[in-house]
Structure 1
Amino acid sequence: MSAQSVLVAAAALLLTACGGGSLDREMELQPPPVAPAADVTVLMMGNSHTTVNQLPQQLEALLRAGLPGKSVAVAVAPGWLFLDERLADSQSLALLRSREWTAVVLQAQKYSTTGMYQYSTAGAEALVREARKAGALPVLFPEWPRRGVAETDTIYDLHVSIARQQPACVAPIGQAWDLARERMPALTLHAADGNHSALAGAHLAALMLYATLTGTSPLGLPVIDIGGDGVTQTQLRQVAAEAAQAYPPRRHCPADKAPAAQGLAAGNTMGATPPSALSQ
């Protein structure tokens, strides 16, 4: 590969799933996180798309609201890493293997923003296998499209290809964003950089993850304190319910129930996909 090609590839990587990359020195010095104890435990592995605007905390609040009587803990693996880097990170693997998780959410698969390159999905597939060894339901988190770029199907189809190799749920987050932009064109979903989420975008992603994890519609959820104004949350719940109905997120989930996956119980299931791995 020529030096020019190397530079082009590097530039493409910088635009891909922004926020991924090696840990900075401060993060490297932090002690490894401790696995939480709760009835429902979710581990999120990704980059800045996973953590911006308190997305994990929003998901935890939604799960608590939707699962009364259950204790819920959502943990985030250390640092911002692509999935192939995550597989090589000892702290992340130690956390993943430290307990039986209810679910593991995987975000930050590399993809070519130009369409000129192909990146391996072997790391993501290996993490799906590791999640299942940990008794967890693996959930793939395809990022929303960048502002002004029609890439929802490309990103979603890439994650579906991973699930076909190693069965996992695939959350239709990009499709939900597209529907929200169509229904509410004045709503700000993207941050100023056009890549990361604004608060409403993070809330919509959390709603889609809730629907994916539980196999139930988010329509009955209440307003949460950290999700933005109540009117917008109500509108986004409707969007999330419709997106999950059109693109059943559990279509590619494992058929077998994971040992630790008894914490989530399905109520109003969505689409034709049965609530298998996480529901009773």
Structure 2
Amino acid sequence: MKTFLFLLGLWISCTFCVQAQNLPVPEEAWPACTPARKGARILFIGNSYTFFNRMPAMVMAMADIRGLQADVHIHAAPAASFSSHWNDEEAGKKLTGNSWDFVVLQDQSATPVIAPERTLEFGKKLCSLVRSGNGIPVLFLTWGRKGSSNAPDKGEQEALRDTYLKLARQEKAALAPVGIAWENCAKLHPDIKLYLEDGQHPSEQGSYLTACVMYCTLFGKSPVGLPGKLTLKGVRLCNIPQAKAKTLQTIALETCKRLFTTPAGAGKKPEGRR
């Protein structure tokens, strides 16, 4: 919490701050997590929204650039859901056979909208399993399908937010506000294309924005100033013009700062391994 308040005082981009006044401020505490330590072990569990454009590797590359040396792993499959991961023997082995500081959990994109009870049921089981290993579950709040003006469909995004937020508060899990950042990006910069032509999967820019939100959420640090061109172990991950990368970084930072600033009287953030 102190990290984000400190960043708020340092922020000097006046133009964006004027625009950012229109971004939502939570009425209740947004579930944040204890910032990851150097060398933290992080597992991403999800589907194509997670593995497209090698987003977890982008997070690892960002951490490496800042000297955080995160150990990032992924277990994902097309269209996988919380329930399919719960019943997947390999996913179970990945979760229980290793010691993770954080596990990022992403449900199938439509399930929290059309069957929220399944997200809550199997999300609870996965969060409990993560906590049994002393890890911190981090829920990946995804984006709705593309609606007007390149923005997530308003109804879908509200349903996604409500379901993930309910699960996070019930299970005392952290919540990465990716879909909220996508909404803010579409509102402030509708020219930035976050979606592929199918109107669902992320473009390279969409995955980069997602990685910036994950970096803010997991490490409690600003992504502003990171390069738009990322590589990991010699493999190219993305090549975004630096000016556009800074815009995406700023949106991620402003989204997280506003959501993770606890209102007066709100509950404490969830605790876990430091």
Shorter-chain TM-score above 0.5: yes
Letter of the structure 2 residue corresponding to residue 165 of structure 1: Q
1:208 counterpart residue number: 213
CA separation in 1, counterparts of 2:241 and 2:206?
Answer: 13
Equivalent in 236, 240, 243 of residue 255 of structure 2 = 243
1:165 counterpart residue number: 170
Cα offset, 1:110, TM superposition: 6.1
2:75 counterpart residue number: 77
| Cα separation, partners in 2 of 1:130 and 1:117, compared to 1, 3 Å | closer
| Cα separation, partners in 2 of 1:90 and 1:249, compared to 1, 3 Å | farther
2:54 aligned with 1:49, yes or no? no
What secondary structure sits across from 1:185 in the alignment? Answer: coil
Tell me how many residue pairs correspond in the alignment: 219
222-231 vs 124-133, which deviates more? 222-231
Letter of the structure 2 residue corresponding to residue 119 of structure 1: E
Letter of the structure 2 residue corresponding to residue 42 of structure 1: I
CA separation in 2, counterparts of 1:50 and 1:77?
Answer: 9
Cα offset, 1:252, TM superposition: 8.2
Alpha-carbon deviations, 1:41-80, whole Å to 9, x = none?
11111111000011111111112223x1x43221111533
- TM-score normalised to the size of structure 1? 0.71
Contact residue 144 and residue 152 of structure 1 kept, 8 A: yes
* Contiguous gaps of at least 5 residues in structure 2: 1-37, 148-152, 231-236
Contact residue 219 and residue 238 of structure 1 kept, 8 A: yes
Structure 1 residue runs of 4+, over 4 Å off? Answer: 109-113, 115-118, 249-254
| Cα separation, partners in 2 of 1:187 and 1:256, compared to 1, 3 Å | closer
| Cα separation, partners in 2 of 1:183 and 1:102, compared to 1, 3 Å | same
Identical counterparts, % of pairs: 26
- TM-score normalised to the size of structure 2? 0.73
What secondary structure sits across from 1:176 in the alignment? Answer: helix
Equivalent in 117, 136, 150 of residue 119 of structure 1 = 117
- Counterparts of 1:1-280 in structure 2, within 5 Å, are 39-66=39-66, 68=67, 70-80=68-78, 81-109=80-108, 111=110, 117-120=115-118, 121-148=120-147, 149-150=153-154, 151-225=156-230, 226-227=237-238, 228-248=240-260, 255-258=270-273, 261=274
Contact residue 103 and residue 136 of structure 1 kept, 8 A: yes
Alpha-carbon deviations, 1:100-154, whole Å to 9, x = none?
11210000156458x6654322111111111112222210001112110212222
| Cα separation, partners in 2 of 1:116 and 1:155, compared to 1, 3 Å | closer
Cα offset, 1:254, TM superposition: 5.7
Contact residue 189 and residue 197 of structure 1 kept, 8 A: yes
Contact residue 169 and residue 252 of structure 1 kept, 8 A: no
Letter of the structure 1 residue corresponding to residue 57 of structure 2: Q
CA separation in 1, counterparts of 2:82 and 2:269?
Answer: 20
| Cα separation, partners in 2 of 1:187 and 1:253, compared to 1, 3 Å | farther
Contact residue 171 and residue 249 of structure 1 kept, 8 A: no
Letter of the structure 2 residue corresponding to residue 82 of structure 1: S
| Cα separation, partners in 2 of 1:207 and 1:116, compared to 1, 3 Å | closer
* Contiguous gaps of at least 5 residues in structure 1: 1-37, 262-280
What secondary structure sits across from 1:235 in the alignment? Answer: helix
